């Protein structure tokens, strides 16, 4: 044991000496050979050498304290959990992350240039005779977690992307990373180029704050270099859907707290589950970011909180729908591609509107799931058409055609107290909308009409078709639009809210929903010019369009001017 401890201590001493001797301007060219001139100056301006790191494996906390003392290191703060390194060790050695209590210590070191730096010490306790001995031996031999790190003082997304691009240009390769919620920091790992002269094979960019949006592209590039792993992650996407659906179905988010952890046994009693099986599900949810694990148990993250029953903008119904009826019908996607028959109809023997209408529970779930994407609606009430209508001296009426449970119309009426509304829906849905809008205090300003598209009421000032046209084929869309055109006075406006397929083939949620509509509804998403042709066929004209959240768009449509003779 003395030899092992001496080995860890000697490596730690060497790390301390390295941190004292180096500075940003001299270390970067060693790591990235060929880097000089303006690009070196830019990197030095936007990042600074902050620490070197290594993993030590003491038998207990007392041994770790002695090791630090031998190296003259005095941590100013208590050890914190290391989410990223723990995850890397778990993946590398195929172990449960919960079995690996990896902690971080960051004792200060003063460099030769007088700058304050740190030695980052990852400590995995390996009790004598434990089943972690093989991990300790492997890590000591290969030193996977040894790295040098640069901190980005001003975490601007453009700066981060520029730093990552420069590292890549000089041969550094994305090598993972992660977000640590315990200290609110984001880590970008790189593998140093083969010709590096710094003596370290891994480089870290540490950025204070949550920058998982930029990190996502970095991790995608890392996975792209490992096609088998990438494909395996894609193939297991169904497991993710079902894990989130089970999370919602068991009402786990309702039983959890965002600040305080809860143990598996207590949580299992609360939701009526088997502790061992629940623990397996929770560990997977930790990987998805909907749950976080700490010493006091599991807690809910902001992402997971969206699946609470009473959360503003709750997406629980969407999780149950995508993990339920629509999930089962997606097994028939190949049938749809081969035959053209809608997979949902092939499986259930009827279209999804009729199927849900016959089952009150499913009908309510479907209406709730449609409202779950309500973030798309956030900017709609401020659209210039609605703002102008609200300023008309005599007031104005907004007609929401097939308006579901009234989510969107309620937002419009709340934003504009001088507007009135009419909601047209199927009989079972119109009652749900009536209840919702009356509860919100808008009942006296809204009329409710049970009917079909042929019953679009005349005389409105603004008509709304929100996520309706993508349910249908082109001929049915023309029919719906003609009903609207006949009802619209000459001054009226029509707002069509849909996801619009990009014309350049760029990544968009609309592409995913195009597949969903084909498989489950028999509809489709469309490009803007396709919608333009449908509007023209119905005697309407596209005036303009504006982007919405979740890759949505609002298309402003008016009656086409009469053709000149």
> Which residues have a catalytic role annotated?
470
**CA 22 → CA 29, 70, 138, 154, 364, distances in Å?**
12, 22, 28, 22, 64
Burial (Cβ within 10 Å: 0-12, 13-18, ≥19) of residue 210: middle
Q: What is the DSSP letter of 77?
A: S
For CA atoms 499, 503, 509, 514, the dihedral sign is positive
Give residue 72's region: left, alpha or beta (phi > 0; psi -120 to 50).
left
Q: Rounded to whole angstroms, how far apart are CA atoms 465 and 3?
A: 74
CB 174 within 8 A of CB 221: yes
CB 480 within 8 A of CB 468: yes
Q: Rounded to whole angstroms, how far apart are CA atoms 267 and 260?
A: 12
CB 451 within 8 A of CB 487: no
Terminal Cα-to-Cα distance of the chain (whole angstroms): 99
Kind plus residue range of the DSSP H or E element containing 51:
strand 48-56
Full 3-state SS string of 88-150: HHHHHHCCCHHHCCEEEECCEEECCCCCEEEEEEEEECCCCCCCCHHHHHHHHHHCCCCEEEE
Q: Which residue has the tokens 């029509």?
A: 494
CB 124 within 8 A of CB 135: yes
- For residue 377, give both structure tokens: 């609606």
**Residue 14 CB contacts under 8 Å (≥ 6 apart), including other chains:** none
């Amino acid at each position: 044991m003395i030899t092992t401890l001496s080995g860890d201590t000697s490596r730690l001493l060497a790390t301390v000496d390295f941190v004292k001797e180096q500075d940003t301007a001299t270390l970067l060219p060693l790591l990235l050979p060929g880097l000089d001139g303006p690009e070196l100056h830019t990197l030095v301006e936007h990042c600074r050498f902050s620490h070197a790191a290594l993993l030590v494996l003491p038998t207990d906390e007392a041994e770790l304290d002695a090791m630090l003392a031998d190296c003259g290191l005095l941590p100013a703060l208590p050890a914190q959990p290391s989410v990223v390194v723990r995850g890397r060790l778990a993946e590398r050695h195929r172990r449960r992350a919960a079995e690996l209590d990896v902690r971080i210590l960051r004792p200060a070191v003063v460099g030769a240039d007088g700058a304050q730096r740190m030695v980052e010490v990852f400590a995995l306790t390996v009790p004598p005779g434990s089943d972690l001995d093989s991990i300790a031996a492997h890590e000591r031999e290969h030193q996977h977690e040894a790295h040098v790190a640069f901190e980005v003082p001003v975490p601007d997304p453009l700066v981060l992307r520029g730093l990552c691009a420069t590292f890549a240009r000089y041969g550094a390769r994305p090598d993972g990373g992660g977000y640590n919620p315990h200290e609110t920091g984001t880590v970008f790992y790189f593998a140093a180029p083969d010709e590096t002269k710094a003596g370290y094979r891994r480089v870290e960019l540490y950025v204070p704050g949550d920058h998982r949006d930029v990190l996502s592209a970095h991790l995608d590039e890392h996975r792209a270099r490992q096609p088998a792993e990438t494909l395996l992650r894609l193939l297991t996407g169904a497991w993710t859907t079902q894990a989130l659906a089970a999370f919602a179905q068991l009402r786990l988010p309702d039983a959890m707290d965002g600040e305080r952890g809860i143990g598996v046994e207590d949580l299992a009693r609360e939701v009526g589950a088997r502790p061992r099986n629940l623990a397996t599900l929770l560990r997977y949810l930790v990987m998805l970011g909907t749950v976080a694990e700490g010493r006091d148990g599991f807690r809910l993250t902001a992402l997971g909180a969206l699946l609470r029953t009473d959360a503003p903008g709750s997406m629980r119904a969407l999780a149950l729908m995508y993990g339920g009826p629509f999930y089962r019908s997606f097994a028939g996607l190949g049938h749809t591609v081969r035959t053209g028959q809608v997979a949902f109809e092939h499986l259930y023997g009827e279209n999804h509107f009729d199927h849900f209408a016959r089952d009150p529970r499913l009908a309510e779930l479907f209406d709730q799931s449609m409202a779950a994407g309500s973030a798309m609606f956030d900017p709609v009430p401020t659209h210039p058409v609605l703002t102008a209508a609200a300023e008309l001296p005599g007031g104005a009426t907004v007609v929401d055609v097939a308006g579901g449970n009234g989510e969107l119309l309620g937002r419009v009426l709340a934003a504009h107290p001088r507007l009135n509304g009419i909601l047209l829906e199927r009989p079972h849905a119109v009652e749900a909308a009536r209840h919702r809008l009356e509860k919100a205090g808008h009942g006296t300003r809204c009329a409710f009409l049970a009917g079909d598209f042929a019953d679009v009421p005349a005389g409105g000032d603004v008509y709304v078709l929100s996520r309706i046209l993508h349910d249908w084929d082109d001929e049915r869309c023309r029919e719906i639009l003609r009903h609207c055109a006949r009802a619209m006075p000459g001054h009226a406006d029509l707002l069509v809210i849909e996801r619009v397929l990009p014309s350049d083939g760029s990544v968009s949620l609309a592409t995913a929903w195009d597949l969903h509509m084909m498989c489950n509804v028999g509809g489709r998403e469309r490009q803007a010019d396709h919608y333009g042709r449908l509007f023209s066929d119905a005697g309407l004209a596209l005036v303009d369009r504006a982007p919405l959240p979740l890759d949505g768009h609002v298309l402003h449509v008016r009656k086409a001017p009469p053709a000149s003779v």
